[in-house]
Amino acid sequence: MRAEPQDFSRVLSSMCTEPHPAAREAAETFLATNPGDPGTYQTVAELEGDAVDALGEIAGLDEPHGYIASGGTEANIQAVRAARDLAATDAPNVVAPESAHFSFRKAAGILGVELRTAPVDSDYRARVDAMTELADEDTALVVGVAGSTEYGRVDPLAALSDVADDAGALFHVDAAWGGFVLPFTDEEWHFDHVGVDTLTIDPHKMGRAAIPAGGLLARSPDVLDALAVDTPYLESTEQATLTGTRSGAGVASTVAALEALWPAGYREQYVRAQNNAEWLADALDERGYDVVEPTLPLVAADVPRSLFARLREEGWRISRTGAGELRVVCMPHVTREMLESFVADIDALART
Ligand code: PLP
């Protein structure tokens, strides 16, 4: 194959990153294994148990039920699917803030569930009053986001958990991106803090595992039972995942990354990323651009479209929020030097 490997030196838009070296090695070692067939691939199946236990520790759950999914999309789809199948209604709906990831739209479409989205407040967090208004006796799932895709915001999760309770619905927290940074903040986001039923936490984002590694966790085994189907031709009897055959790379690299980084390495990574985000926010603010304060390591700022386009021409991999702001995700591969060079390019381009 004649292709250069991915160069991360100008990647500012991705929620994925370079895997930790131990995770990369583990991914390669277990590339040809299939945790979907635990009767045959026993080692990787055991590793999956270790991965779920470790994710449970991060997410405040002593006896976690779950699995390593292909990513946050699968985990969110499965949370909706389980809630739909556990709900006592023929016309289930899901109530989510409009800041929820687009995977919930996929989930609703695939699963025939109505998705009701509530407006967010001026700080881009779910409005509890609006969520309450949308929830009713047919609500199967209420969704809160812990680290939103566009602005890195954490919804008022305790209040949203009450909304779910009042409606007799399950409460799902999407911490796909935030799950590996929130443990080092004051946010109340996980099973031990609030009444969470299911949670998405992706090792292949801030967790520095190799793609594909998403995480679905559930408080009750009923959730996994609701997802399980019989597997007649395999030695194991049932399978709760959405995909059948799946790569053991994500599972093994999750365990390796967690062994290497939890908790001290992730803490250090978070502090560096947050400092970088604040540095960039200040730099953009000093240059007169409107900046959305980074509560987690993600910066959004209103820069002119022409500047955005020219930065992309310079090779910067940047993206935009739905409202059109520049969006920079300070992932572990994003160094201060990269950001300095990015700001220097902004200065140079703004002059011409
Ligand atoms: N949830 C959140 C909050 C996300 O930011 C993302 C992706 O960025 C997802 C879910 C979907 O994850 P994936 O792309 O791994 O399927």
Residue nearest to atom 5 of ligand 1 (CA): 149
Domain positions in the chain: 21-260, 263-351
d(CA 2, ligand 1 centre) in Å: 30
Tell whether omega for the bond before 263 is within 30 degrees of 0, i.e. cis. yes
| Amino acid symbol at 205 | K
Cβ-defined contacts of 48-51 (< 8 Å, 24+): 48/251, 50/255, 51/203, 51/215, 51/251, 51/254, 51/255, 51/258
For domain 263-351, give the CATH number: 3.90.1150.10
The arithmetic mean of pLDDT across residues 132-158, rounded, is: 98
- Model pLDDT, residue 19: 98
- Owner of token pair 């277990």: 30
DSSP-derived 3-state class of residue 291? strand
Model confidence at 335, in pLDDT bands (50, 70, 90)? very high
Residue nearest to atom 11 of ligand 1 (CA): 72
DSSP-derived 3-state class of residue 68? strand
Model confidence at 108, in pLDDT bands (50, 70, 90)? very high
ipTM above threshold 0.95: yes
pLDDT digits (tens, 9 = 90+) for 242-281: 999 999 999 999 999 999 999 999 999 999 999 999 999 9
Q: Which CATH architecture group holds 21-260?
A: 3-Layer(aba) Sandwich (3.40)
* Sequence-ordered list of residues with C-beta below 8 angstroms from that of 160, at least 6 positions apart, any chain: 126, 128, 131, 142, 143, 144, 171
- Model pLDDT, residue 235: 76
Q: Percentage of the chain surpassing pLDDT 70? A: 100
In 255-322, DSSP assigns E strands to 290-292, 298-302, 319-320
Asked if 245 and 36 count as a contact pair (C-beta separation under 8 A), the reply is yes
Q: Cα separation of 19 and 27, whole Å? A: 9
User: Assign residue 124 a region: left if phi > 0, alpha if psi is -120 to 50, beta otherwise?
Assistant: left
Site to probe by mutation for ligand 1, drawn from 17, 102, 177 as the one with most ligand atoms within 8 Å of Cβ, is 177
- Model pLDDT, residue 249: 98
Which of ligand 1's atoms lies nearest the C-alpha of 100? 3
Q: Cα separation of 101 and 124, whole Å? A: 13
d(CA 213, ligand 1 centre) in Å: 11
d(CA 206, ligand 1 centre) in Å: 11
d(CA 209, ligand 1 centre) in Å: 15
Q: Cα separation of 287 and 29, whole Å? A: 48
Which of ligand 1's atoms lies nearest the C-alpha of 147? 3
- Model pLDDT, residue 233: 78
- Model pLDDT, residue 327: 98
